[in-house]
Amino acid sequence: MASLDSVSIAILFGAVLVMAGILSSLLALRFGAPLLLVFLLIGMLAGDSGPFHIEFNDVRTTYLVGSVALALILFDGGLRTRVQTIRAVLAPSMMLATLGVLLTALITAPVAKYALDLNWAEGLLVGAVVASTDAAAVFLLVHAQGLRLRPRVGATLEAESGSNDPFAVFLTLMLVEFISAGQGTGSHVVIEFFREAVLGAVVGVIGGRAVVVALNRVALPQGLHAPFVTTAALVVFGAAQIGHASGYLAVYLAGIVIGNRPTRAHNSVVTFLDAATWLAQIVMFVLLGLLVSPHRLASSVGPAVVVALVLMLVARPAAVFLCLAPFRFNWREKVFIAWTGLRGAVAIFLASIPMLVGLGKAYLYFDVAFVVVIISLLLQGWTLAAAARRLHVALPRADRGPRRVELDLPGQLEQQLVGYPVRPKSLFFRRGLIPSWSKPTLVIRNENILSPTEADPIAPGDYIYLLAPPEKAEALDRFFVDMQPSSAPDPHLLGDFMVSGEHTLGEVAEVYGVKVGEDESKLTLADYFDIHLDHAPKEGATVALDAIVLVARSISGGRVNVVGLRLPEEKDEQQPLTRPERLKRKLTELWSQVAGI
């Protein structure tokens, strides 16, 4: 009976832990604290050195759980990544995700060697373990602290933190293989890297497309779409790993493919994965905490703190500034990207690999990674919002998202019903603004269902349902939150809402409501500069597009490839306004509420 009691205790402990994780998400949103540290501490308290005295040294189970959790985190990141958003920052992001990780490891290695009394290969392994940023940690804290990052900065961090884990895993595995086998050549490493990258990309793209086809053609019962997609992601990951490809790259690319194609139940899949990745992180942090021994930490905590400080203050900034040197990032953006290199569970997970293969000094790598993560989340995590505002790369976002209802429409994939309560201070009610790609369909008032015409005018307290493409549903939120008091736009952000020069005038007009002639709607922004400038475009050149100003932010091959959108300043409300001036005022108020789409 004692064994049955132990099982019941384990079930109770696990259920309480899951419940605590669900409630902790509310605390994270309220206080912006790196609450995942709490679960590390819970694991330590439950371990053999804590009051619960649970003996846990199952590295294989920890690695298994960590692999599944990291695969789901990367898949969720890919699912949320819009290709259109990251296209303009793909080159700098990939530089940070590959060369940046390598430079960070190389700069950290000498410090680890002398501080921890290691040889050069072991010092480089320490650098590789802590070199990658943690996508989940970065965006959990960005969201929890109410930040609205400048679009280019946010897209760069999103693409980097989602794609640097595969390279860090590869680098760690190669170094573990070299140290354990005592042999290896540079050509072998290069060949292995390209083989894993190419095969991982192939498996990811093919797997993602297969999931899209199956999701849209197989008539699954309601509610099974999200579990199907989550399981399919793990199938893609496992298949790639078995084929000696990069499973982490494969699952990330599969997420991108699925997230950028029309699919059934897209938003329910995203919501389900939110919960799955959050709980996966909790379980992973607790298991990693169980492996930590406070007594063992005491002998290495001093050198580990030195490694952490050098990593945060020297290695990461040096790598960021070198990698972004060829690109048009100002010093404020570079400093913030450098400071946002948070380390999370990925570093501790990578440190478990030497323990799994029985490498010498394996527990030292693990303990160093643990200390680095603790310091990074405490020091960088808690100062993230202050750094963003001080460096003018973000504006505070105090408003909470509206309660959005999403309903799939059987028989088609292009539209879904999105419903919101109408708030008296919302942009929709006060200004009548709504994107052209959405269509009001019905209104619920006092439990009666009305057409938009019957309900006109819409009143606060009504519930309005609109037709909108599934991938754009979240973009409707900003029209139904309470507007904050109008304020002048931050001068550091004007003209820094970035879009690719390959977008058409029609696309810009659709978003901002400006007027564009039918003969010009298919022109790209780069074409528009060429037509309206009497000289070759230069950085900083401006042309007017109805009520907004286009700013040339980057030039390549004599053409504008990145464009900033500068919104006009607001007029005095006491003066009579013409129609264009009213449009300008609406755009300025919209700009003060949102950083972008």
Give the tens place of pLDDT for each residue, 534-560.
Answer: 556 777 788 888 778 888 887 765 678
Between CA 506 and CA 502 the distance in angstroms is: 12
With a pLDDT cut of 90, the percent of the chain lying above it is 20
Say whether pLDDT at 423 is over 50: yes
Over residues 405-426, the mean pLDDT reads: 81
Over residues 145-172, the mean pLDDT reads: 80
Strand ordering across the sheet containing 405-408? 405-408, 416-421, 463-468, 439-445, 448-450
Say whether pLDDT at 495 is over 50: no
Say whether pLDDT at 579 is over 90: no
Lowest mean pLDDT among 26-30, 102-106, 265-269: 26-30
Say whether pLDDT at 297 is over 50: yes
Over residues 140-149, the mean pLDDT reads: 65
More confident residue, 186 or 349: 349
Write out pLDDT tens, residues 70-117: 898 889 888 888 777 677 788 899 999 999 999 999 999 999 999 998
Q: Does domain 497-593 have CATH number 3.40.50.2000?
A: no
The pLDDT value recorded for residue 597 is 38
The pLDDT value recorded for residue 291 is 81
445 phi/psi in degrees, rounded to 5:
-135, 120
Say whether pLDDT at 514 is over 50: yes
What does each C-alpha distance from 84 to 89, 90, 166, 478, 498 come to in angstroms?
10, 10, 22, 20, 11
Greatest pairwise CA separation for the chain in angstroms: 88
The pLDDT value recorded for residue 235 is 95
The pLDDT value recorded for residue 209 is 94
The pLDDT value recorded for residue 313 is 93
- Give 302's Cβ-side CA count (13 Å radius): 6
Say whether pLDDT at 30 is over 60: no
What architecture is domain 2-396? Answer: Up-down Bundle (1.20)
Rounded to the nearest integer, the mean pLDDT of the chain is: 79
DSSP 343: -
Say whether pLDDT at 490 is over 50: no
Lowest mean pLDDT among 228-232, 418-422, 468-472: 468-472
DSSP H or E stretch at residue 573: none
The pLDDT value recorded for residue 430 is 75
Confidence bin at 426 (pLDDT 50/70/90): confident
More confident residue, 405 or 478: 405
> Domain-by-domain residue ranges, the chain?
2-396, 405-479, 497-593
Write out the CATH class of domain 405-479: alpha beta
Give the pair of three-digit tokens for residue 121. 């290969």
Say whether pLDDT at 127 is over 60: yes
The pLDDT value recorded for residue 99 is 92
First to last CA, the chain: 59
The pLDDT value recorded for residue 49 is 66
Q: Report the predicted TM-score, pTM, of the whole model to 2 decimal places.
A: 0.70
- Give 412's Cβ-side CA count (13 Å radius): 9
The pLDDT value recorded for residue 582 is 54
